[in-house]
Structure 1
Amino acid sequence: MIPVLLLMTIGLIIGYVLRNKIKFILISNKATTLIIYMLLFLLGIGVGLNKTIVSNMTNIGLQAILITFGAVLGSLIFAYITYKLFFIQKNEK
């Protein structure tokens, strides 16, 4: 955990120092996107190599769809409630 926090802190400091360098920001954004794609690809390989996950893919897929549906529905409901409570001006009489 210490190496992760140390690397994050070093990255934060470097980012702060170079925050006004447009060329660095553009390169950093492209590198971040490329690294995320690489991580997703490697994650897919790891999942594909796991026999337990592959054999239970239909069950896991159904659970993932249900969890996703519930999360989206819950977010919409609470966003609507928040909008009604805090962003709609009430008519004062």
Structure 2
Amino acid sequence: MPKLNFRLDESLHAALMRRALGANLSLSAFIRQLLEQAVDERKRYVFSSQDEILATSIQILSIVATSVGEQSPSALEQGMVQARMILAERGLLGGEDIP
């Protein structure tokens, strides 16, 4: 198997590490999958096996958030703050969204 070596700036490296951790992959495995996506003629998303689970989870959480928000707006706000912190820890928020 050929081996590639290249340099990254610190911020890109840190962002890739967070995304790899969030995907439960090593940095090398994560980057290999990104490169596979880049050369895929169908332009499919590499992590597509998780798309259906993600879509279902978002729908369920939206229903729960709506219900909680109607019953207790303060509980909803606390939950949203906690969710943003968890997403930020995993590198799943853009820089402007980090609390």
TM class by smaller structure: 0.3 to 0.5
Point out which structure has higher relative CO (alpha carbons under 8 A, 6+ apart): 2
Max radius of gyration: which structure? 1
Q: Which has the higher helix share?
A: 1
